[in-house]
Chain A
Amino acid sequence: MITVRGISKYFGETAALSDVSFSIRKGEIVALLGANGAGKTTLLRIISGLLTPSSGCVFIDETDIADNRVEVLQKIGYIAENSPLYDYMSVYEFMNFVAGMRQLSASTFSQRMEELIREFDLSNVINRKIGELSKGFRHRVSIAAGVIHNPEILIMDEPAEGLDPNQKYALINFIKSYARHGIILLSTHIMEDVEASATRILLLNEGKLVKDTTPTRLKHLLPEQDISAAFRSLTTTSGGRKVESLY
């Protein structure tokens, strides 16, 4: 369970997040929505222990991440935007490295590798250098590394960015199946992905949590029953204006 209590984050004078609170239970697929600059990535980075909040705290199963970062991070898999990886390593070397950093035993690593190779169809690229892989395969490797330790919580920053429709479809299936034994928290601004996968939506606007709802309820917020229109009605551009015309 993730519990976020009164998180605020300031970068200098600028408030990236203001008093954000919510909790997420096992089995939920939560989509963090918001326009660019709304604070989605900042929030994900705070929950992943990559940023320290200016005030407030994050609990993972009753443990404050500020008090015990290492223990909490064992329960989290974090997949950053654009899949930054070590290009000079082969896929196997990279997975072996991640397993070592997460202190998996050799037998657990072998077993997980078999499962992940099957699940992400990595058998043909397992010995290839990551730098030689296509964007789709890099993405798969990134997710496989993020779940190698079977984390209870999977945090994904813009996971569908740059994927083709087939890859998106596979990703959504993976997210749905993974959520059966954990929590998925993802940030996105692609509404069709939200409708297809999320069970809950947290809508951020200018660093504030403005809506905690379900995709269905958000869709029915306006008479036209369009989730994108609802999104636009609740959010503003980074300049603080409602979106009427940007061009």
Chain B
Amino acid sequence: MNPFISLFRKEFYALITGGIGFFVLFIYIVISYGLTFYAGNFFSINNKRLYSFFIFQPEVLSLLLPALSMHLWTDESKRGTQDFLLSLPVKYSTLVLAKYSAVYVYGAIMLLSTLPLPLVESYWIRTDNTVLILSYVSVLLVMGIFIAIGSVVSALSSNFILTYIGSFFLIRLLMGLNPTLLVNKIVEKFQGQISMILDFKTIYNSLIMGQAGLNSILYYVSGIVLLLWLNIVIIAHKKD
């Protein structure tokens, strides 16, 4: 059997049997539907892009995904099984990617639980399906970067609470990061472009409004790749 599949299965199984997976899924459904219907004015605005649902997703995921990703490496450190895992003849990159993928797939399943929303919506009004699909892809990309942050933080700590708080804090920092302010005085000339390239909220909003460019997708993908690379480096050198 392939080590990637073996580790992926172990992690996925741990998420489900550990109870945390179902707990997070339950909270995710309650909060997502609640915000969409009440705070998002689901019935009162022209919702052909399901804006009232997608606009809250980064907030909801920033709260819940660290609870899933904190188990990735923190759990191994806490149980003392990290040495066992690292003594197996498997590349560090395979270990990191398999663990990361397990949480990512679980996150995608969580997102699937919201499919009744666009289905119900499309029954009532003519929805913009291309934008809806792009918005779901955007949420998946946001999940990817949040889980990658959680994975990096979990590799640095053996305390669940610290891992959760650290991941949550870094995710919120990324979401609140406004590079326009940072570079304003330095390079006024390029202010607008840099904002578009690095501002999490601007990029996410443009994606769910159907105004995505390749650079928006590149922003998330490069962020995920960079964080996973950092995760591999930490795992390889943490032991020293």
- Point out residues on A near B: beta carbons under 8 Å: 45, 48-52, 69-74, 76, 78, 80, 82, 84-89, 93, 96-104, 106
Contacts and interface: CB of A to CB of B under 8 A. Distances in A.
Given A73-B89, A88-B18, A45 B83 contact: yes
B87 A97 contact: no
B161 interface: no
Contact of B83 (A73, A80, A98): A80
Given A80-B80, A88-B14, A88-B18, A103 B87 contact: no
Contacts of A101: 3, 6-7, 88-90
B1 interface: yes
A50 B239 contact: yes
Interface residues of B, number: 25
B3 A86 contact: no
A37 to B, nearest CB: 19
A51 B240 contact: yes
A100 B5 contact: yes
A104 B10 CA distance: 17
B79 interface: yes
A84 B83 contact: yes
Contacts, number: 80
Given A100-B5, A103-B1, 7 more contacts: A49-B86, A69-B89, A78-B84, A88-B14, A96-B6, A97-B6, A100-B1
B16 to A, nearest CB: 10
A88 B83 CA distance: 18
Closest 9 CB pairs of A and B: A100-B6, A84-B80, A100-B1, A73-B89, A78-B87, A74-B89, A101-B88, A70-B89, A101-B3
A70 B6 contact: no
B3 A84 contact: no
Given A100-B1, A103-B1, A76 B6 contact: no
B41 interface: no
A97 B88 CA distance: 11
